[in-house]
Chain A
């Protein structure tokens, strides 16, 4: 078995967070794909998130009233090894990445 984390997707156009209203599942529950997991509220609307897959709920993140950033883990499933990794992810706000280093001889003339 493997653990598979489902990060909070961007539920609007460029939204950065959502607030948990109510969890509809609990750790230990066996859920089916598209089964409602949680109701969240964004600055645009309140929506119910359907499960991206079948599996056993291992952990949930955030209780009612807690804010979760887009891209952060919302729920973790236990799934058979061969189904792990099929879920799409959203780009997360990461620390600035760079490949380029600057070099210069800065004369102060």
Chain B
């Protein structure tokens, strides 16, 4: 499905260059390696839990690649590690949420243009609409609006807030790109038991919003779709919905066991060809990269994971006083009294 008018949506970026394609590959390898390593970290007691995104690297890297971090703002769920990495977010700060250091992560959301990690399914989709409407209210500096990119999944598409967000955005012509990663599963419930009609993108028509359904495992297609959607929204034409069709190859989280609700055969059929392997084959076929490049990318990914792992292991607990200090901008006497009690009665003074 593609109801985004072509005439109105010509992005200013041309086709991806060879260097950009190699860059996308390097990003996807870095994300893949960090993601699979994080599962090992959990099994090794380094972090208490993690929500892997195995199989969604193309959807995440491709969409994150279209973001202009000087003027756009991204609203992630808890499974957007690949987007964060692509946007250049500090990954120790990002992964700290999975170490149970701080719920939203320790990176600076305002500076990095990535909202705090969101644990509530569908929780931040309306926030994106509000931020985007703020861009309209403030007026574009150069005739081009900052765009809000909001992520959610097929499961979240069932939440009432997601309907409200799309309706608001369409009514207000807010510069929002709704990016659905339809990964086939909401924990144990498959898309056909979740999304009536089988497509989230089809719902856009009801809001008078253009929509694109894209092969979410083809990183080039994802970059192209997201760039087109950004151009449309940036020009003041209103929101766009992108449904990236992909597959959650791993468990929902490190406490999940997919063997209880899907067979290995179903997994193999549903997952299709690995998005990373697809890009590799494409780069080889087009003569853009060779085995030496791939090997180098993996070495870099391993070195990066090593560094992030070291950073995560070195991360101690936050001072308990932060519990009290960060509740308000202007604290209250009652809260200060509780903090004083805590200081006196706790060992972590």
Residues of chain A whose beta carbon lies under 8 Å from any beta carbon of chain B: 6-7, 9-13, 15, 34, 44-52, 86-90, 99
B44–A87 CB distance below 8 A: yes
Closest to B314 in A: A86
In B39-83, the 8 Å CB interface with A consists of 40, 42-49
Given A45-B259, A46-B257, A52-B44: 5 more A-B contacts, CB < 8 Å: A10-B48, A12-B254, A87-B45, A87-B46, A90-B48
Q: Which of A12, A15, A34, A52 has a CB less than 8 Å from the CB of B45?
A: A52
Q: Which of B45, B251, B260 has a CB less than 8 Å from the CB of A89?
A: B45
Determine the chain B residues whose CB is within 8 A of the CB of A47 once the complex forms: 43
Most buried by B among A6, A11, A87, A90: A11
Given contacts A10-B48, A88-B313, contact A45 B42 (CB under 8 A): no
B44–A88 CB distance below 8 A: yes
Mark interface residues in B249-262 (1 if CB within 8 Å of A CB, else 0): 00100111101100
A-B contact pairs, 19 of them (CB 8 A): A6-B44, A7-B45, A9-B43, A11-B42, A12-B255, A13-B255, A34-B37, A44-B255, A44-B257, A45-B259, A47-B43, A50-B40, A50-B44, A52-B44, A87-B44, A87-B46, A88-B44, A88-B47, A89-B45
Number of A-B residue pairs at CB separation under 8 A: 56
B44–A9 CB distance below 8 A: yes
Closest 3 CB pairs of A and B: A45-B257, A9-B45, A52-B44
Determine the chain B residues whose CB is within 8 A of the CB of A46 once the complex forms: 257, 259
Determine the chain B residues whose CB is within 8 A of the CB of A90 once the complex forms: 45, 48
Given contacts A88-B313, A99-B347, contact A49 B44 (CB under 8 A): yes
A52–B46 CB distance below 8 A: yes
Closest to A49 in B: B43
Q: How far is the CB of B185 from chain A (nearest CB, A)?
A: 15
Residues of chain B whose beta carbon lies under 8 Å from any beta carbon of chain A: 37, 40, 42-49, 251, 254-257, 259-260, 313, 347
**Whole-angstrom distance between the alpha carbons of A55 and B20 in the complex?**
41
Determine the chain B residues whose CB is within 8 A of the CB of A15 once the complex forms: 255
Q: How far is the CB of B254 from chain A (nearest CB, A)?
A: 7
**Whole-angstrom distance between the alpha carbons of A45 and B254 in the complex?**
9
Closest to A15 in B: B255
**Whole-angstrom distance between the alpha carbons of A86 and B306 in the complex?**
13
B255–A45 CB distance below 8 A: yes
Determine the chain B residues whose CB is within 8 A of the CB of A87 once the complex forms: 44-46
**Whole-angstrom distance between the alpha carbons of A95 and B260 in the complex?**
36
**Whole-angstrom distance between the alpha carbons of A28 and B31 in the complex?**
35
**Whole-angstrom distance between the alpha carbons of A6 and B44 in the complex?**
8
Q: How far is the CB of B288 from chain A (nearest CB, A)?
A: 31
Determine the chain B residues whose CB is within 8 A of the CB of A9 once the complex forms: 42-45, 48
Determine the chain A residues whose CB is within 8 A of the CB of B43 once the complex forms: 9, 11, 47-50
Q: How far is the CB of A108 from chain B (nearest CB, A)?
A: 29
Closest to B313 in A: A88
Q: How far is the CB of B242 from chain A (nearest CB, A)?
A: 32
Determine the chain A residues whose CB is within 8 A of the CB of B45 once the complex forms: 6-7, 9-10, 52, 87-90
Determine the chain A residues whose CB is within 8 A of the CB of B42 once the complex forms: 9, 11
**Whole-angstrom distance between the alpha carbons of A13 and B260 in the complex?**
17
**Whole-angstrom distance between the alpha carbons of A66 and B45 in the complex?**
20
**Whole-angstrom distance between the alpha carbons of A50 and B38 in the complex?**
11
B46–A88 CB distance below 8 A: yes
**Whole-angstrom distance between the alpha carbons of A15 and B42 in the complex?**
13
**Whole-angstrom distance between the alpha carbons of A11 and B43 in the complex?**
7
Determine the chain B residues whose CB is within 8 A of the CB of A89 once the complex forms: 45
Closest to A86 in B: B313
Determine the chain B residues whose CB is within 8 A of the CB of A13 once the complex forms: 49, 255
Q: How far is the CB of A97 from chain B (nearest CB, A)?
A: 9
Determine the chain B residues whose CB is within 8 A of the CB of A88 once the complex forms: 44-47, 313
Determine the chain B residues whose CB is within 8 A of the CB of A12 once the complex forms: 254-255
Q: How far is the CB of A57 from chain B (nearest CB, A)?
A: 15
Determine the chain B residues whose CB is within 8 A of the CB of A51 once the complex forms: 44
Closest to A46 in B: B257
Q: How far is the CB of A84 from chain B (nearest CB, A)?
A: 14
Determine the chain B residues whose CB is within 8 A of the CB of A6 once the complex forms: 44-45
Q: How far is the CB of A83 from chain B (nearest CB, A)?
A: 12
